[in-house]
Amino acid sequence: MVLSPVLGKLVSKRVVLASASPRRQEILTNVGLRFEVVPSWFKETLEKSSFAAPFEYAVETARQKALEVANRMHVKHMRTPDVVIGADTIVSVDEQILEKPVDKQDAYRMLSRLNGKEHSVFTGVAIIHCHSKDSKLEMEITDFYEETKVKFSELSEELLWEYIHSGEPMDKAGGYGIQALGGMLVEYVHGDFLNVVGFPLNHFCKKLAELYYPPSKHNVQHKKYDSIPSVDTFENLSDGESESSNFTEHKGASKLDSSGKHSSGGVYTSENSSGVRTGFTVPLENQNGVSQRPPEVPSKILELMDGFRASKALLVASKLKIFDHLKHKGPLKAVDIANEIGTSVCGTERLLDACAALGLLEKTPQGYGNTDSVNTFLTSDGEYSLHGYIIHSNDHLWPLFTNLESAIKEGSRQNHRAFGKKAEDLFKDYYHSQEGKQCFMAAMHSIARLTARDVATAFDLSRFKSACDLGGCTGALARELVQIYPNLKVTVFDLPEVIANISYFQPSGQHTAPVTFVSGDFFKDKLPEADLYILSRILHDWPDEKIHVLLSKISALCRPGSALLVAETVLDEQKTHPSRAVLQSLSITEGCAILLAEMVLDDEKKNRSTALLQSLNMLVQTEGKERSGSEYQALLEQHGFTNVKIRITGNLLDVILCVKT
């Protein structure tokens, strides 16, 4: 293939497309380029009036998009890419720059401006070559732009509004997509069509050719500043040109440090579509000679700032059962999914693209498909599906968390604000409707399925003959216990409204040793007798006063040698993270035998924030909280439980075993 030597230069490189635009991804995928997509977080807010020409704005925005990604990947992931590609498409008409419309009125304003006239579409592109030297990021940046002229026919108001209502204009520069319905608005196109769609592929390939095969002196036939080889030059390229086949610094590339500053100062050049260099100055210093470049925002902060968007995208995609549809029918195009689930095409496409950018979906020319972990954890029928918990998060926790500020100010749960009703107790709230009950049970079931094995095996429980799982809900932990300890008889004790609904969660087909279900309220009713009591994710729901009621009831039933197993997320003493040192000193001073799972630092940090965010979660919805090892120990010892052992599992739940003496 004529172009393959050029793109072939990128084969062995880690190429990153710093763009969320599905069109750019498709254009580059279609020519066989392999790349990762890391959408840029750069906000397109450069002051337009500070640029002498529209293309300068597009080029600078493309540069900033690519620089942001290169820096973020280097700093955050220590995964320095080899090449980062950024692009920005704008429409220019009557000396105005049009970007993507913010709403339908804005789309109308844009399309009315374009109506019956010729306008220019500019796409600025930045190609950054990155190198990590002594863990510092060094970059060489090449940029260019392409201009295409497009003329719209005279269009009626009715047609414009019909087009706007199709939803197509919303994520497109100038408010139209020439590749789809918008093509019907267009009378002519002069120049590169793909440039209008979002990526000037032809100019990009020429630029790569120039970078990887710089013309030797004897075959330069172009005018002084035009170093772009003509297309037929590609045909003469071969990988045999080893001397010049790697990227070499050339006059079109400027060296940058990791902040994106040019080592040569603030002047850089850019090439227009005919290869003529134009220069302009980026003001780098204010009058006092102090750098005006703002400090770089750490990527962690940006990630947290926008984290709720990613969560909500995941929750909504699950709620709409997008992952289920893709599991059974994928890969599917956005329009097919939208038809299946009855949503807008434009909104669905954006959600799917966001999910692809978040690594949840794979996007190929055939459409969108689930990744393996989505099939395992996010589809509703998977054995270890988190779907139940995700729906609970979307329908209950999200509205509660939006009232976090009030919860912090008032120190109490926010059901009344989130759902407009007086807070009763936690479970009465969840169980007031059949739907609420099933949703909450599904949520608890999904967490129990994922943690049951680690909870059941944290300690050797084979000496016990009977166990009672108080608040054991669907029996997921109970079933794991009877499988691991065949001599153990397990009773699940839970509210009558829970027990009435367990059949939906019983495994079908496979034979498991029986689990007994008994209904009752563990605060009020008589508890079944057992030599091992289990409280999994129960104590964190309640304040100390209520815990004392429950523990004294259990304690009164226990004979010497009976035991209590508690499964919770255990915080360290400073409530920062499960720390080895703290837990080990506890083991000496308090007689706890503590065995710690080996956790890599990253996991430890993740567990730490998960546990502490879970504590906030308890604040917004319950009267309870997450507690530290010594807090649990103190509660348990007050009721005659001793020999408190804590196991940090590395899973969502840690396990505490204590014995009644």
Residues designated catalytic: 88
Is there a contact between 638 and 431 (Cβ–Cβ < 8 Å)?
no
Residue from 7, 9, 21, 391 that binds ligand LJZPGDOY (CB under 6 A)? 21
Among the residue ranges 168-176, 210-218, 447-455, 576-584, the one whose residues contact ligand LJZPGDOY (CB under 6 A): 168-176
8-state DSSP, 86: E
3-state helix, strand, coil in the chain (%, to 5): 45, 20, 35
Backbone angles phi and psi of 97, in degrees to 5: -100, 125
Interface residues for ligand LJZPGDOY in 26-55 (CB under 6 A)?
39-40, 44
Q: Is 114 in the site for ligand LJZPGDOY (CB under 6 A)?
A: no
Asked whether position 92 contacts ligand LJZPGDOY by CB under 6 A, the answer is no
Residues 6+ apart with CB under 8 A from 658: 563, 564, 566, 636, 641, 642, 643, 644, 645
Listing DSSP states for 111-123 in one string gives HHHHTTSEEEEEE
The amino acid at residue 196 is V
Q: Which is nearer to ligand LJZPGDOY, 24 or 445 (CB)?
A: 24
CB contact at 8 A, 168 and 158: no
> Among all chains, which residue has been given the structure tokens 């799917």?
352
Among 265, 183, 163, 248, which Cα is nearest to 210's? 248
Provide the terminal-to-terminal Cα distance of the chain, rounded to the nearest Å: 81
Q: Are 563 and 660 in contact (CB under 8 A)?
A: yes
Binding of ligand LJZPGDOY by 196 (CB under 6 A): yes
172 binds ligand LJZPGDOY (CB under 6 A): yes
From 15-23, 303-311, 580-588, 616-624, give the range in contact with ligand LJZPGDOY by CB under 6 A: 15-23
- Closest approach, Cβ 186 to ligand LJZPGDOY, in A, equals 9
Backbone angles phi, psi at 127, to 5 degrees: -115, 115
Note the maximum CA span of the chain: 97
Pairing of strands 641-648, 654-660: antiparallel
Residue 197 binding ligand LJZPGDOY, by CB under 6 A = yes
Q: What mask, x for binding ligand LJZPGDOY by CB under 6 A, covers residues 573 to 592?
A: --------------------
- Interface residue with ligand LJZPGDOY, options 59, 67, 137, 173 (CB under 6 A): 173
Q: Is 350 in the site for ligand LJZPGDOY (CB under 6 A)?
A: no
**Residue closer to ligand LJZPGDOY (CB basis): 35 or 401:** 35
Nearer to ligand LJZPGDOY, 334 or 655 (CB): 334
Sole window of 81-89, 233-241, 471-479, 545-553 interacting with ligand LJZPGDOY (rule: CB under 6 A): 81-89
Binding residue for ligand LJZPGDOY, selected from 64, 80, 89, 491, defined by CB under 6 A = 89
Residue 85 found at the interface with ligand LJZPGDOY (CB under 6 A): no
125 near ligand LJZPGDOY, judged by CB under 6 A: no
Instruction: Supply 620's token pair.
Output: 């917004």
100 binds ligand LJZPGDOY (CB under 6 A): yes
Confirm if 110 and 175 have CB atoms less than 8 A apart: yes
CB 152 within 8 A of CB 101: no
Burial of 11 (0-12, 13-18, 19+ CB in 10 A): exposed
Which part of the chain contacts ligand LJZPGDOY (CB under 6 A), choosing from 165-173, 265-273, 325-333, 501-509? 165-173
Q: How far is CA 405 from the centre of its chain?
A: 24
Sheet containing 563-568: order of strands:
516-519, 489-494, 466-470, 532-536, 563-568, 654-660, 641-648, 594-596
Smallest separation (angstroms) from ligand LJZPGDOY to the CB of 88:
4
Nearer to ligand LJZPGDOY, 174 or 475 (CB): 174
Contact 532, 484 (CB under 8 A): no
Contact between 249 and 20 under an 8 Å Cβ cutoff? The reply is: no
Q: Kindly state the smallest distance separating residue 125's Cβ from ligand LJZPGDOY, in Å.
A: 10
Distance, in Å, from the CA atom of 179 to the CA atom of 27, rounded to the nearest integer, reads 12
Mask for 254-293, x = binds ligand LJZPGDOY (CB under 6 A):
----------------------------------------
Cβ distance to ligand LJZPGDOY smaller for residue 179 or 579: 179
Chain centroid to Cα 652, Å, comes to 19
CB of 294 to ligand LJZPGDOY, least distance (A): 20
Choice from 15, 16, 23, 367 touching ligand LJZPGDOY (CB under 6 A): 23
Which segments within 325-477 are labelled E, that is strand? 361-364, 367-370, 466-470
- Residue 88 is a binding residue for ligand LJZPGDOY (CB under 6 A): yes
Q: Using the rule CB under 6 A, is 139 a contact of ligand LJZPGDOY?
A: no
Q: Given the rule CB under 6 A, which of 190-198, 322-330, 568-576, 622-630 is the region that contacts ligand LJZPGDOY?
A: 190-198
| DSSP 8-state assignment for residue 127 | E
Stretch of 13-21, 243-251, 316-324, 425-433 contacting ligand LJZPGDOY, by CB under 6 A: 13-21
Total residues at the site for ligand LJZPGDOY (CB under 6 A)? Answer: 24
Nearer to ligand LJZPGDOY, 87 or 495 (CB): 87
The span of 173-181, 304-312, 405-413, 428-436 binding ligand LJZPGDOY (CB under 6 A) equals 173-181
Q: SS3 of 129, please? A: strand
Question: What is the Cα–Cα distance from 45 to 294, expressed in whole angstroms?
Answer: 14
Question: Is the Cβ of residue 171 or residue 469 nearer to ligand LJZPGDOY in the bound state?
Answer: 171
Q: Does 120 contact ligand LJZPGDOY by CB under 6 A?
A: no
Q: Which two tokens stand for residue 134?
A: 């002594």
In the list 5, 169, 198, 475, the residue contacting ligand LJZPGDOY (rule: CB under 6 A) is 198
Q: Which residue has the tokens 């103190």?
A: 634
Indicate the residue type of 395: D
CA distance 41 to 82: 19
Task: Say which amino acid occupies 321.
Answer: K
Q: Which is nearer to ligand LJZPGDOY, 89 or 385 (CB)?
A: 89
User: Which string of DSSP letters, residue by residue, matches 532-598?
Assistant: EEEEES-GGGS-HHHHHHHHHHHHHHPPTT-EEEEEE--B-TTSS---HHHHHHHHHHS---EEE--
Per rule CB under 6 A, is residue 200 in the interface with ligand LJZPGDOY?
A: no
Cα(282)–Cα(61) distance, integer angstroms: 12
Q: Which is nearer to ligand LJZPGDOY, 346 or 535 (CB)?
A: 346
Closest to 551 in 3D by CA, of 527, 573, 586: 527
Contact call for residues 137 and 130 (beta carbons, < 8 A):
yes
Residue 177, interface with ligand LJZPGDOY (CB under 6 A)? yes
Minimum CB–partner distance for residue 362 and ligand LJZPGDOY (Å): 18
What are the residues binding ligand LJZPGDOY (CB under 6 A)?
Answer: 19-21, 23-24, 39-40, 44, 65, 87-89, 100, 171-173, 176-179, 182, 196-198
